[in-house]
Amino acid sequence: MSTYALLADIGGTNARFALGDGIRLHAIDTLPTADYPRLEDAIAAYLRAQNVSVKQASIAIANPVTGDSVQMTNHHWKFSIRALQAEFQLDKLRVINDFTAQALAVPHLGADEKRLVSAGEAADGTPLAVIGPGTGLGVSALVPDGHGGWVALAGEGGHVSFAPRNDTEVAIWKYAHARRSHVSAERITNGAGLTLIDNALATLRGETPPERRPADITAAALAGEATARQTLDTYCAALATVTADLVLTLGARGGVYLCGGILPRIADYFINESPFKTRFVDKGRFEGYLAAVPIWLVTAKNPGLVGAAAALQQG
């Protein structure tokens, strides 16, 4: 019998697995969610490939976890926590929100697993904000527990309503609203939000929406193509507004940690050229408050898995 625990970080596109020894990761593998009818099938495939059985597991999933039944927001997988535990004969199973896991990973980040976006002076004893765009928009936070540790908040802040800040963003909001009534922060700032913004801006210019993929937009923007650069700048500004709103809501003067799959791929542009930092502090009388908040870009390869391991250690 293996002494390892099964760790999983389940997103809308990929399911990442590892075997955990404390918070140390082994045998990391990624399986496309589209290749498996159920989460259980993906887990079984991973365990077969590793030729192990486990008695403990911790799963971070891109979905609210509020009871026994879990239905993914951005994928068709649905499962019962109790049935999953029974199927794999687990003595212990933790199932947590994926961005709760991202938050739990933050205290374990090495110096080479994050990049400074904006220097500041972290206020001791205050929350840390964790936010990151990918297939969705994950939002969480770490709150001091009063004993030198942290409590991770499980929320669905990506689904708050998006608040445009200028005429261009109002036009983008109207474009999105015409297609779906609730324009959430996630709709604008997840990966698909790049395509939505790109199409909306093309429409404003009187052009046919190009329907470019997010990866094509970022590649064109980094190569200097003007319309793609406008899209990417607009996207980063919108993300900054959402991030600043989160910091103000939480009083997260301990810092911001930006996660997800999009930003590390555009890290140099994001840190050095994008309007993110300027927009982040653009809150009138609270400019100074926000300017003091340090901002980090998480570049760790598998923070969700580390966070899942940390959750298992917590109990």
Residue where a domain stops, chosen among 35, 68, 98: 98
pTM here? Answer: 0.90
Q: By the 8 A CB rule, do 192 and 218 touch?
A: no
- DSSP bridge partners of 97: 61
**pLDDT greater than 90 at residue 11:** no
Q: What is the mean pLDDT of residues 183-208?
A: 98
Residue 21 phi/psi, 5° resolution?
A: -125, 95
> Would you say residue 128 lies in a domain?
yes
Least reliable range by pLDDT among 185-189, 193-197, 310-314: 310-314
Beta strands at 14-21 and 5-10: parallel, antiparallel or unpaired = antiparallel
> Would you say residue 49 lies in a domain?
yes
List of residues 6+ apart from 142 with CB closer than 8 A: 103, 104, 106, 107, 127, 128, 130, 150, 151, 152, 153, 254
- Residue 69: pLDDT band by 50, 70, 90 thresholds? very high
Host domain of residue 92: 5-98
pLDDT the model gives residue 3: 85
**pLDDT greater than 70 at residue 95:** yes
- Residue 12: pLDDT band by 50, 70, 90 thresholds? confident
**pLDDT greater than 70 at residue 2:** no
> Would you say residue 310 lies in a domain?
no
pLDDT the model gives residue 150: 93
- Residue 15: pLDDT band by 50, 70, 90 thresholds? very high
Q: What is the CATH number of the domain that holds 86?
A: 3.30.420.40
Q: Quote the number of domains for the chain.
A: 2
| Same domain, residue pair 63 and 178 | no
Please give the Cα distance from 213 to 39 (Å, whole number). Answer: 27
**pLDDT greater than 80 at residue 1:** no
pLDDT the model gives residue 116: 98
pLDDT the model gives residue 154: 85
**Three-point CA angle 254, 133, 236, nearest 5°:** 80
Beta strands at 24-32 and 295-298: parallel, antiparallel or unpaired = unpaired
Beta strands at 114-118 and 92-97: parallel, antiparallel or unpaired = unpaired
**pLDDT greater than 90 at residue 155:** no
Q: What is the CATH number of the domain that holds 250?
A: 3.40.367.20
Q: What is the mean pLDDT of residues 39-67?
A: 95
pLDDT the model gives residue 73: 78
**pLDDT greater than 60 at residue 259:** yes
Residue where a domain stops, chosen among 98, 122, 152: 98
| Same domain, residue pair 255 and 289 | yes
pLDDT the model gives residue 136: 87
**pLDDT greater than 90 at residue 156:** no
**pLDDT greater than 60 at residue 306:** yes
> Would you say residue 214 lies in a domain?
yes
